[in-house]
Amino acid sequence: MAPPERLARVRTFHPRRGRLSGRHLDALDRLWPRFGLTIPTGNTPGRHTPNVGAPARNTTDASAPGWSAPDKDAPGWSAPDEGAPGWSAPDKDAPGWSAPDKDAPGWSVPDEGAPIDLVALFGRRAPVVLEIGSGMGDATAAMAAADPGRDYLAVEVHTPGIANLLALTERHGLTNVRIARGDALDLVRYLLPPDALDAVHAFFPDPWPKPRHHKRRLIQPEHVALLRSRLVPGGTLHCATDWAEYAESMLQTLTADPGLVNPYADYALRPAHRPVTKFERRGTAAGRRIFDLIFHRR
């Protein structure tokens, strides 16, 4: 069932813009068809065929709509022409990207209750880790390289970050990384079945520090219940933040969820397997404490 309109309009992330280097453009052109996945937007449940619908890119404005897939020979891709048949006009009002045309070549018809086949997506059956907000991808690439027995599904909306993770995936020869572009909550609601994930990582999500923006925070009761439902029994929900007030809110919210258990007295010790991120270095430099919260599904 589609979520209430109220939830669909509330973003938990800031759409960002940035420049794409030549290396990033090359990574998008060559690697997105192999490793990329676009998440449907809005209230429409359904699935999107993997490797179709590359993230919008522009050498000046990474969020600019209006470009089509770069590889016209890739299965399911339209010609690299924004006016190519089958593509809808860019929607400037859509959060961070233009809405796709369900009739475009390569798109599956929206089908509620038809999740992604994770085995087909990664080409094997293995535990899957969902990385919410992978940023520039350095931490995701490092964890995937150190943890080859699990598959990593990274979700990001920032096109240069997506491109950088694609480049890192190739540089390090990683076969256990896939990148989804769009809203992580839409991915979890519509495309991931229950009991599908071994772990969910939400490292340094936007703290939305102003009280009037707290409703946009990722870690709040309805979102936690959704994420927990996609974990296998015993699966891990691992959050990290450098905002003390948000950490306290996270701890209260996660503790209140009846389906989660905290193996620690309150905050967890910083695990060695979590790489130091740019946001963590920035918080430490500013004198802020880093909080890790590690909960398991009952």
- The residues annotated as belonging to the active site are 206
**Residue 269 buriedness (CB in 10 A; 0-12 / 13-18 / 19+):** exposed
The residues, any chain, with a CB within 8 Å of residue 125's CB and separated by 6 or more, are 119
Cα(149)–Cα(128) distance, integer angstroms: 9
Tokens representing residue 218 in the block: 């990722």
Residues 6+ apart with CB under 8 A from 50: 36, 37, 116, 120, 121, 178
Read off the DSSP letter of residue 276.
P
Q: Residue 53 is encoded by which pair of tokens? A: 């619908």
Question: Any residues with CB less than 8 A from the CB of 69 and at least 6 apart, and which?
Answer: 32, 33, 52, 53, 54, 77, 78, 80
Cβ atoms of 275 and 266 within 8 Å: the answer is no
155 pairs with which residues across the strands?
A: 132, 180
- HEC secondary structure over 103-137: CCCCCCCCCCCCCCCHHHHHCCCCCEEEEECCCCC
DSSP lists the bridge partners of residue 179 as: 36, 154
Query: Parallel, antiparallel, or unpaired: how do β-strands 260-261 and 291-297 relate?
Result: antiparallel
Angle at 226 between CA 111 and CA 244, to 5 degrees: 140
| Tokens matching residue 71 | 């590889």
